[in-house]
Each structure stands twice: as C-alpha cells, then as structure tokens.
Structure 1
Amino acid sequence: MEPESTLRLNLDAFEVLRIANLTLYNQRFEPYAKFYERFYNGGRKFSLVPEEQYSTHDFPKLGVCIVGFSSCHDNDLYNRTGHISVEAITRAMDEANPIVKDGRLIIGVWHHSIQGGPKENDYIESGFLRHLMDANCSIGMHGHQHRPELLENRFSADSHRHISVISAGTLCGGPHSLPSGRMRAYNLVVLDQDEGVGTIHVRAMTNSDFSSPIWERGHVAEFGGSSMKFKLAQRKAQGRSAFDAAGKADQLIHQGQPVDAFELVRMHLSNPWARQIAATALAASENWKEAINLFSPPSSTADFLLLCDAYEALCDWASLRALISSSFARECPELAVQQRIQISEATLKGK
C-alpha cells in the first residue's frame, strides 16, 4: 500500500505479486504513447519514463499555461489507485516557473478524482496538491468521476494559499458510465485574472438520446444552479520588469519567435526600450493591424517607421499620405524620418 511499491495484491487468487521488471512494466503505456505521438503529428511524445510523464501547453495570449500529468503512475489491473510521480511534478513545475514570472496562470490537469467513497480505491490522494501549490499552480482540473464539482483545498490556515480543483462530467460516456442521477456534461471555465475570480458554467445533456445529445445549462445541486464562482489563488502576476521582459523578448526575436517576443513586452509599452522591441517584433511577424492599433499616432522615430511599413504592407495609401503629412513628420528632424518620407512620397505617386 506504500507509494512506489513493487508489490501487488491479487484478491481473486489471494496472492501477492511482485513487479520483477520495471522497464517492462513501464512499457504498458506503449500503445498510448504511439497514439499520443500520432495525435500531435510527431510534435510531442509521451515518455515511458514516469519522471518525464508531463507536458506543458503555454498560451501567452490567454495568460495561462496548462500542465498535463499522468495520474496512472503505478496504476495497473491490480492497483486501480491514481498516482502522479512526484519527480514529474517537480520537473514540470521547474519548467513552468519562468512562465509564472511572465505573468501566466498555471493550471494543472490530470485524470483521477481526489476523493472517493469508503468502498472505492480508484482515486488519487490529495496530498500531491501541496506540490502544485508550492509551485504557484492556482487551478487543478480532472475527470474520472463523471460529475461536475468544485473543491478548494488548503493545507494551512493561510486563506490566500489554496488551489481550486474542478472536475467535469463526461462528454461522451454512455448510460452505464454515468453516476446515479447524472447526465453527460461539460464545463466552460471563465477566468478573470484582473479581478482574481473564476466561474464554472456547466452544460448538461437534457434529452435521453445518447446518439444525438441536446446541451443546455445544467443544474448542479452543489452549485445551486448551473454556475459557480471561485477565487483564484493568485491574481494576474505582474510578470517580469520592463527591462527583463525587453531583454528576453530581444532573445526570442533573434531565435525566430517574434510573436512570443511581443507578448512579453505588450504590457510594458510605456518603457522606451520595450516599445522599440515591440515594434521590431510586430514588424518581424508582419502583424500590421496590431502595429497600427498600438503605435498610432507616432511618438518616436521607431513608431513612425513602423507605421509607414504597416500602411504600405496593407496598401492603405490614404493613411500613409496622412502620416507623412502629419505634424510629427513635419517637425521631426531625424534623418531616418525625412528619408522615409521621401521613399513614401515616391511610392505614393500614381496611387
């Protein structure tokens, strides 16, 4: 019954079995690993080594990073208990730590429930949540029990230190896989990081035809309706300083990742260096509409040059003509601006 035990109890035959070959034992996930690699077209792979069974999915524009775990460590036909390798959690959270500094909210995802009935053992002990909390993971999500639920876990008297654990119903399960009184369901989770609040909206199947389900707002007795609000353990992080963000973004541009570079400095446009890096990133990614939205009217030479490029790329000749005739263009003594005006005037001939 101890973690990492190589012993298994076979109650049907009233015998104790021992895992004799851990390498062979770990290969029980080989069919899943092949499916996983096909699913991601070779872009990701599922390791057969328990310590490496995690994946990070970063979404800078959404401000979140999802870290996926396998809760089937030590799980087999003789041991239905869920378990996640502590080393996998440590490695994943070390990998996510720089992302937290960039202002991302960390969401952990696994399969097994964190509690079960007195006759059940196919759930995972909630103690591992401490490791996630220590690594600034704010939300946990799981399935397995096929019912919507929200549990806020705390391991100290600190009311601000907690992790919100959300479970969902089954989207495709048949009638025999549904708990008593439940129908198919799924969650929509809305996060307002500025306010530090999340909302779970439950959508449930409201007809009896499993081949053609109808989805509507589902009533969850524990929620007192179809929705439930919860406080995020952390509000939106301040992220890196403008100096650090600009430095990191500059590296990303040179590594051919201008989109990620721009996301790093988006919140620091009042800083001259970060603003210049942002302009470079937008030009490199040819995100001209965003460039016009953020840098018009121009307040610097870099802004002016970027806007000229943007209007030309979009063939917006009227805006380009207005830009080179603006007070900024007339009053700016910079040679680069004057040269760009001449080039634009030549381009505009006959337009």
Structure 2
Amino acid sequence: MRYSILHLSDLHRDLADEVPNVWLIDSLVRDLEAVSHDEAAPPRPALCVVSGDLVYGVSPNAADGDKEIGRQTVQALEFLVGLADRLFAGDREKVVILPGNHDVTYKRVLESIALVPMPTDSGERAALVAEFFKPNSALRWSWRELAFYRVIDHAKYSERLAEFAGLYADFYQGRRRYSLQPEEQFDFFDFPDQKLSLLALSSCHGNDPMQRAGRMHPTALAEARRQLSASSRTGWLLAAAWHHNLAGGPSQDDYLDSSFLQLLIDGGVALGMHGHQHRTECFDERYRLGPEKRKIVIASAASLCAGPTNLSPGAPRGYNIVEIDNEALTGRLHQRQMVNLQFSTPVWGPGYFFDTNRTYVDFELSPPLASRPNGLDLQLVMESADRLLGGGDWIGVVNLLSEHMEDSLVRKYCFRALQELDDPFATIKLLSGPRDISEAVLLGTAVAETGDSEARRRYLADPFVLASTDASIEHIVSSIKARAAK
C-alpha cells in the first residue's frame, strides 16, 4: 500500500511580512496538484504532520503581549482548520500537531523564575555553577544579563505551553487534550487505513528562551515506548515526530540529544520526523544496543513560514512529502521549496537534494517487530463494538460494524443495535440478504415502513424469504404485497 504524509514544520510567520492563511493554504493545495503531474508523483497526502513552532511568540515586554500571542494562536488554529478542510474533508484527526520552542510563552517563564544574587564567595559561586549543570536543574542562565535565575513556581512554569494546549483542545474539538504535566506530553495517532501508528512527542521538556536545548521527559518517553507495543499496533509501521533537530554546531545548544532514538528503534519505530533546523534532510540512525540490525530513518522539514532572518543560510522555505510503501518497506522523501522572493505570497516548486541531484531521496524502512495476527482487526472492532453497546451508542455500533457484516457475530451485534436504533433505512442497508428469521422479520418491518419499491422488490425476491414458512414472515410478506397493490 502506497500513501503519502504531508510534513510541515515551523509555521511561525515573519511578523514583518506575514503570509495570509488564505494564500498559504491555496499555495499548498496548488503545489500538491502540480506535484501530482510529475513523473515521480507521490500519492495525494493521506495525513499531515506539523512538527512544532505553530506561532512566532512574543517578547515578554511587548505592549499588548497577551493580545498578540492570542492573535498568533488564532491565526495558527485557523490555518490548521483550513488545511484539514481543504485536504482531508474536515477530518482533523488526519493532522498531527505537536509543540516547538516558539510555542513556549516567554512571559509565563519569567513569571515563574526569580533572580539569584551572585555570591561574592568563590566557593558559593562554584556550587551555583555545579547546580546549573546538574540534570533537571531549576537554574537558568541569562547571557543578556550575565545572571542566574531559578524556577521557583513550577506550576506556573508548566503553564508556558498553556496557549499551545488551548489550541490543541480547540483544533481537536475536545476529543484530545494536551497535558501541561511534562510526563504526560505525548500522544498517539493511529491510522488503520494506512496501517500506521504515529507517536507525537514533545522535545520541549524544560525548554525556554534561557535553556534552549531540546529534551524529552524520561517518564513520557518510557510510557510512550511501552504503548508502542500495544496489540492494536502489532504489524503496523510505527513512526514518531518531535520538534528539535539532533545535532548542531559548536556554538549551538538548541538541539536534542539523539540517544533517545535507540529507545524508539528498540520499540519498532522505523520513521522519525522533526523540524527546527529550517532545512530538509534525510539520514539513518542505526541500532546500537543489541544484535538487531534495525534502524530509524530521520526526515527533517524546512520552515514553512519563517522570515529571512530565521532561515538557515542557503535554505529557503519549504516542506516535505514523505511517500511510504508499507508492503515493500520503502519510502521516498520529496522536497518542495519556495521558488519566488515574495515572502507574503510564497510559490512552491521542486527542491533538490545535493547527494542525488533529484527532487527526492529514496530510503528503506525496517519491518515491524512482529507480523499482524489473522483476525486481530476484527477482534479489535468487536471489542470496540462491545464498549459502544454497553454505553448505548447504537449509531456508533452500526457505523463501526457496517463494513464487517459478513461475519456472523458482527451481524448479531449489529442486529441488536438496529433493534434499538429503529432506523428502517439503516436496517434495509445492512440486513439485505437476511440469514435467519429474526433478521428477515426486522428487515421486512423496515421495508413495510418505508414503502421503498426497490427494497420491496429485493425483499420479496430474497431466497430466504421465499423459502420461509414462518408465520411472522408470511404475515409481513402479505402486508407488503397488499400495500404495493394499493
């Protein structure tokens, strides 16, 4: 099965020359249409990953800072909603979002910290420096002021992603929430049609403008690693997304220690996606903790909306299309770049990889850790149906089981739901070709109630109905014929 993932990142707008949402969405839709005519065209994207930095952010001393961060948040939300509407018929579950460092609200950070007076004693200064370099230190260093600060209100500090959490809840219309507790900051997005499960991670644990390095909370990573092995994901391709890049120059500190990749590989993750570095890249990371010859393919996306001062030298704005073949376990990363100079009205075109001199680069994927057992999908469907029945969600049961009506147990569950639902049209659609007297009676009652001539013809010609000597069915047949004769 071939499908594509639209990979966007770093949506933070150039505040001096912002891209309007209408143009940005239209430009992406037009470019995806243009790509579809290329010789090496990928399938139309089945889902989208937005790997962080949804807003630019606001200086804590800015006038009307709260109003401005609110404006940027609404702007990002409207873009994401518009993108889901245009590309995925409004299905927001097909758009995966996660936070980046720009989504951290600086004002909330400053409200949670206090200046630490610099000791005059050399020993006390040395102790302060040692505390600063300890793991999970509450100390922060301001180069601007050449001063230490300490986080004194950890609850307030956790709220630095509150605006992102609000956007998250609004975008997914309350079906998903983003916890402000670092150990809970991950989410799974399962795509049964693509046989893909995608883990969205936060690389912003402890991240703020005074501590720029990306980190993941160990508890969140451990729990996410555990949930990767859920039976419902067995045999699927596993992918993960986060924000920060995995390496930087000697003067940089705003990247993520790549050692966590070994845990993802061990859990079966074969594909990783991130942003932050504002340039497209693709490479492999090998498994080093055991004899397994596994790897993870890492794809980074360029910035979709950054201004000239935020772009990497020689790297224009861009985005990726990640093409996947689940059966062949291969992929292709397509690079798209901004090809004009008007930052407020970008136009996209092909970008070229230096190592291939092509608009794409091919890669191989490690296989799932285990094959998917036969019958697992139907078993999971039935478990979900059982929960829905227990909760009285008859419509949910019918919608869930409608594609599995060839199974006898499914038909029993659906029959019960149709009895409670009392929707004759749904009954006619799902119980055509009745297999027993109960189904024939319920179907015949629905046919008689609707008076649908085509449904009547099929019912009266059905072999089971014709052969039946049951009094209830004979009575329904007589009633249908009498009504048709009027």
Structure 2 vs 1, CA of residues 214 and 12 (structure 1 numbering), >3 Å: closer, same or farther? closer
Other-structure match for 2:460: 324
1:261/1:278 contact within 8 Å kept: yes
Other-structure match for 2:353: 220
Structure 2 vs 1, CA of residues 164 and 325 (structure 1 numbering), >3 Å: closer, same or farther? same
Structure 2 vs 1, CA of residues 272 and 178 (structure 1 numbering), >3 Å: closer, same or farther? same
Normalized against structure 1, the TM-score is what? 0.76
2:274/2:299 contact within 8 Å kept: yes
Structure 2 vs 1, CA of residues 309 and 219 (structure 1 numbering), >3 Å: closer, same or farther? farther
Gaps of 5+ in 1: none
- Whether 1:73 and 2:205 are equivalent positions in the alignment is yes
Count of paired positions: 346
Other-structure match for 1:200: 333
Secondary structure of the equivalent of 1:176? coil
User: What amino acid is the match of 1:208?
Assistant: L
User: What amino acid is the match of 2:292?
Assistant: D
Secondary structure of the equivalent of 1:175? coil
Other-structure match for 1:158: 292
Normalized against structure 2, the TM-score is what? 0.58
Secondary structure of the equivalent of 2:158? helix
CA distance in structure 2 between the partners assigned to 1:240 and 1:93 by the alignment: 21
Secondary structure of the equivalent of 2:337? strand
2:332/2:362 contact within 8 Å kept: yes
Determine which structure has greater relative contact order: mean sequence separation of CA pairs < 8 Å that are 6+ residues apart, divided by chain length. 2
- Deviation of 1:122 after TM superposition, in Å, equals 1.0
- Deviation of 1:311 after TM superposition, in Å, equals 8.2
1:50/1:85 contact within 8 Å kept: yes
- Deviation of 1:22 after TM superposition, in Å, equals 2.7
- Whether 1:123 and 2:255 are equivalent positions in the alignment is yes
Deviations 1:37-74 (A, max 9, x none): 44445554432211122233344444434332221111
Deviations 1:105-130 (A, max 9, x none): 44322111122233322111112223
Q: Counterparts of 1:1-351 in structure 2 under 5 Å?
A: 1-12=133-144, 14-95=146-227, 97-98=229-230, 100-101=232-233, 105-156=237-288, 157-159=291-293, 161-234=294-367, 237-238=372-373, 240=376, 242-243=378-379, 245-255=381-391, 256=393, 271-274=407-410, 276-277=412-413, 298=433, 300-301=435-436, 317-318=453-454, 320-331=456-467, 341=477, 345=481, 348=484
Deviations 1:131-170 (A, max 9, x none): 33344433322111122222322223523x3322221122
Deviations 1:290-318 (A, max 9, x none): x96x987x483488789879989998633
- Deviation of 1:339 after TM superposition, in Å, equals 6.3
Structure 2 vs 1, CA of residues 279 and 44 (structure 1 numbering), >3 Å: closer, same or farther? same
CA distance in structure 1 between the partners assigned to 2:407 and 2:270 by the alignment: 30
Structure 2 vs 1, CA of residues 254 and 97 (structure 1 numbering), >3 Å: closer, same or farther? farther
2:394/2:418 contact within 8 Å kept: no
User: What amino acid is the match of 2:376?
Assistant: R
Percent identity over the alignment? Answer: 30
2:138/2:151 contact within 8 Å kept: yes
Gaps of 5+ in 2: 1-132
- Deviation of 1:80 after TM superposition, in Å, equals 0.8
CA distance in structure 1 between the partners assigned to 2:306 and 2:381 by the alignment: 45
2:397/2:414 contact within 8 Å kept: no
The RMSD of aligned alpha carbons is 4.2
Structure 1 segments (4+ residues) deviating >6 Å: 278-286, 302-316, 333-337
User: What amino acid is the match of 2:363?
Assistant: F
Secondary structure of the equivalent of 2:271? strand
CA distance in structure 1 between the partners assigned to 2:345 and 2:364 by the alignment: 36
User: What amino acid is the match of 1:70?
Assistant: S
CA distance in structure 2 between the partners assigned to 1:307 and 1:188 by the alignment: 47
User: What amino acid is the match of 2:219?
Assistant: E
